[in-house]
Amino acid sequence: MRILLSNPDSLGDFILRQPLISALLAEGHQLLLVVRDFVAPLKELLFPETPHIVCPGNPYHAGFALDHEDGARILARIREFDPELIVAASYQYTLLEELTVRAFPSAASLGMTGYLYPGDPEAGRAIEPSLEFQARVAVDADAPEVRKNELLASAILGRDTVLPPPAITLSASAIQAASAHLNTLGLEPGAHWVACVGETSYTRVRNWGAANWTAFLAHILADPDARVLFVGTPEEAPAVEEIRAALGPLAARTVNASARPGTLEQLLGLLHLARGYLGKDTGPMHFAAALGKPVLAVFGGGTWPRFIPAARAGAALTVDLPCRGCDWRCHLRDSWCVKSVPVEEAIAAFARIQSGDNGPFTVRELPAAPSLLHQIARESYDRHIEVTRGFSQKIKELEQELAYALSEPRSTELQSALEMKTAEAEALARIVPALRDEIERLQAEARPSPLAGIQDALQRILRRN
């Protein structure tokens, strides 16, 4: 069967979907994968023989469309492929899937019992779905993504399917290149931990915070043989440097590679040669798990527990709060679901990894302290009052602007002109019937000079009005 599989999401999502794609290919299905531009290199590494197209733009944006040159090119490529089945692989699907299904009504369509991404709340009204998939796979919203993909595979293949965990295998040349790269960084294979702990203003809500990471890493680096290699994006490099500065002399045992991250294959090689992964919920975390490395990740509740890594050993830590599942639209002063994870818990989880505990991977939902729950209740109330007052103030400002606009001289002039035109129209409305009567009377009298009679009649009418 020819299957168009839409993957409009991130690197981590694609890694978790790798077993599903492999299972479909193993069954002989022909696949055309739709991916974002930043996911295309990973797709090429994992499935070099499988064709793909790159989604033009951000399908999560309310203005996403395919009615342009790039969109027409994609639709033409899909038309050439002639899919028999269009699959929305994400639980939270996008406008890309809606537009694609609508463009190819003869193809069957399949999605999960998820929902269309509603858009940014600050952008106004939510994006409303405009179509329904022909078939839906029933999944629990909080089920890990690996389980969702398993259910999706079962529906497509027509039988209960158990998928293996995601796996990445690097070539000998890639490993050799990574070893040489490590040497330039002053590190030896197998001696370092890869840490992804930086943040930007956008990702800060998902991160544990500089103070927590500093305390945790200081404990690790107390071992003279320990080494930490920081990875991430260039935008995260300043936050990493803040942590290194707080580490003081211990920073000499660390390397910040986030300022110049290199290629995807280089990152995978650095993870392959590492002792394990330490950090937040992000793409490199899923890479490390797929490479068979122990993972210690500090999570928040925004999408918990959907993106727990499919790791063999290590732990995922979070604080269980009643507001979890917010999709990172946090209304609190800070994201306490991740910020309040105790450093001692992370240290204990790391000790288990260091002791050679090779599994199973543990998931720790830590109970929130009563004092934190009380604080969250108070912050929620304060936030409610703040938003209510903000909207009330905005309504008053709009009312004032409207009143000012209506009182402008131009508005007065327009009103006066309208009144004059109305008076003229009323006068004409009175003149026309009288004029018609006069014309009919003159025609009946058959005067020798009708024009003169009409002129006299007009004068009489005008004098009356």
Q: What confidence tens digit (pLDDT) does each residue in 71-90 have? A: 999 999 999 999 999 999 99
Report pLDDT for 443.
62
Q: Which of 158-172, 239-253, 321-335, 341-355 has the lowest mean pLDDT?
A: 321-335
For 390-441, the pLDDT digits (tens) are: 888 888 888 888 887 776 655 666 677 778 888 777 777 777 676 666 666 6
CATH annotation of 2-157: 3.40.50.2000
Domain ranges for the chain: 2-157, 172-368, 409-464
- Mean of pLDDT values over 270-278: 96
Shared fold status for 2-157 and 172-368: yes
pLDDT band at 450 (very low <50, low <70, confident <90, very high): very low
Q: In this structure, what are the phi and psi dihedrals at residue 262, rounded to the nearest 5 degrees?
A: 75, -160
- CATH, range 172-368: 3.40.50.2000
Q: Which of 72, 83, 100 is nearest to 24 (CA)?
A: 83
User: Which two structure tokens, joined as six digits, stand for 237?
Assistant: 């490099």
CB atoms within 10 A of CB 263: 13
pTM of the model: 0.82
Instruction: Give the per-residue pLDDT at 393.
Output: 86
Could you tell me which of 242, 239, 243 has the C-alpha nearest to residue 202?
239
- pLDDT band for position 463 (cuts 50, 70, 90): low
Residue 275 dihedral angles phi and psi, to the nearest 5°? -80, -25
Q: How far apart are CA 56 and CA 96, in angstroms?
A: 9
Least confident of 58-67, 163-172, 262-271, 352-361: 352-361
Residue closest to 307 by CA, chosen among 8, 112, 15: 15
Instruction: Please give the distance of CA 97 from its chain centroid, rounded to a whole number.
Output: 15
User: Does the pLDDT of residue 445 top 70, yes or no?
Assistant: no
